[in-house]
Chain A
Amino acid sequence: MADINRLNRRDVLVFASGGAFQPYRYSVGRAGSRFLTELRDHGRFLGLRCPGCGRVYVPPRPVCGPCYRKMEEWAEVGPLGTLTAFTVLRFAFIDPETGLKKPVPYGYGFIRLDGADTDLQHFLRIDPKRPPKIGMRLRPVFEKERCGRLSDIRHFEREDTP
């Protein structure tokens, strides 16, 4: 009988979990439902304004953390905005909604919509001739068929894209 510490490397087993998957039905919440519905039906961005500090949160969330106040007042923001952070992804990620690999490279950015005090995150269309820069002005590009998800926005692109 082999000593447990002397087990041959090829006899050390690994157990693969197989293809089982773990589905969830995440509630979007009242505020998020309004935000995505407005985006789907009118291509408009809505944020929630804190009654304490006046900050506008986009996407909306129920509570202003620093003031600990419930937010109920809507404020329209965007659709134009400014790029505050970005990267260009060159390794594939598996889209958790589709299970498919997203083609690389693609741009990813934080977008401060005009009138908002928080950043929205989305894809960034990369123009190889004019690489992205922090501070660049952006506009959203919407999908023709929209269904009330963040992917109703295809991506953001330079505001002056012809």
Chain B
Amino acid sequence: MERVAVIGVAQTVFEARKEAETYADLVYEVADQALKDAGMDISELGNIVTASNDFLDGRTISSMAVGDAAGAAFGGGLNISTVEGDGAFAAFYGLSRILSGGYSTTLVTAHSKSSEGNPLLISNACFDPVYERALGLDFISAAALQARVYMERRGLSERDLAEVVRLNRAKGVLNPHAQVRREISISEVLASKPLAPPIRELDAGPLSDGAAAVILAGEDFARRRCSNPVWIEGVSLCADARMTDRQLWESAALRKAAQAAYGMAGIANPSDEIDVAEIYAAFSYQEPLWLEELGLGAMDKSRVNPSGGCLCAHALVSAGLVRVIEAVLQLRGKAANPAPEPRRALAHAQSGICGQSHCVWILGKN
């Protein structure tokens, strides 16, 4: 397989409500910055993949609204395609396009503004209209079901999960892109408003408005043009059975995706060979669950989510791509909260309710 590198990254500051900006504004901000970060002119760009969600954007085929902002109309038009899901999955598609031999570079963007619609109603609309919707299920209540099952299985207490929140929030203080940057105590978490027990308000990542972008390049281009390429050593994605047809305390999809990515990267002992990991945990219980399936359960917590993760900023659609970006920044030595001399990083993304799909990226400096 041809080697492919990440040569440009950009993310907005994540905020609860970006009143003044349209989502096209946000996409332009990160696309322009990612090109600058890569030291590239738009005329050198091969193709574009955008990630968005029509329901969140309140617009059919909402990717059409960000085409110009992502550069798709440049010079008479560039090839652009779209993934409906997290940006890390769009990056997988962007990688495939380079590996096809058709392009030497791909710009990948992801955006969402949870503040414009009603995320509870929108996530309720994920569910089957005949059997599920009217029961009021949404991304929080579905997560509460999974949290309960997982906690019982592993004997975890609400205090254990509050500690996950406390740790992430402490790290997020250093992250200039995070939405919440205030340390909180375990007792504050336990005293926060119950949403759907065992999930309290502070167990859930704060929904954010924002966007993210990366530029991928084939080996030739990356070596010629980039002084600090971050190489893709392994990547895989996998989707699980629907949530009623599987055990919620485990994730076979994540296990499979991780094993395949580790295989590509030649990793035998993930917790020894991965120096830093950025995990898409939208709720506190998800961090130990996903780490367990990644084989990173024993990893030192200082090396997990040094950015503060999604418990400090949870921008739907962008959050997984932000994990990739944070992993890249770690390997460049430019992260706000740097892990000690990392050589290999893992970025994890999920999409769907209760972690329906997972995507695992192994990134390295050499």
Contact = CB atoms under 8 A, between A and B. Distances in A.
Contacts of A33: 20
A42 B274 CA distance: 61
A24 B72 CA distance: 26
Interface stretch (A65-73, A81-89, A107-115, A141-149): A65-73
B22 interface: yes
Interface string A17-61: 100101111111110110000000000000000000000000001
Contacts of A17: 129
A15 interface: yes
Interface in B123-167: 125, 129-130
Interface residues of B, number: 32
A126 interface: no
Nearest to A29: B22
A27 B21 CA distance: 6
Contacts of A67: 74
Chain A binding surface, main DSSP class:
loop
Contact of A66 (B23, B75, B121): B75
A23 B58 CA distance: 9
A120 interface: no
Interface of A: 15, 17, 20, 22-30, 32-33, 61-68, 70
17 contacts: A15-B130, A17-B129, A20-B121, A22-B125, A23-B117, A25-B116, A27-B20, A27-B113, A28-B22, A29-B25, A30-B25, A33-B20, A62-B24, A63-B28, A63-B69, A66-B73, A68-B71
Given A61-B68, A62-B28, 10 more contacts: A20-B121, A22-B58, A22-B121, A25-B115, A25-B116, A27-B20, A29-B25, A62-B22, A65-B74, A66-B76
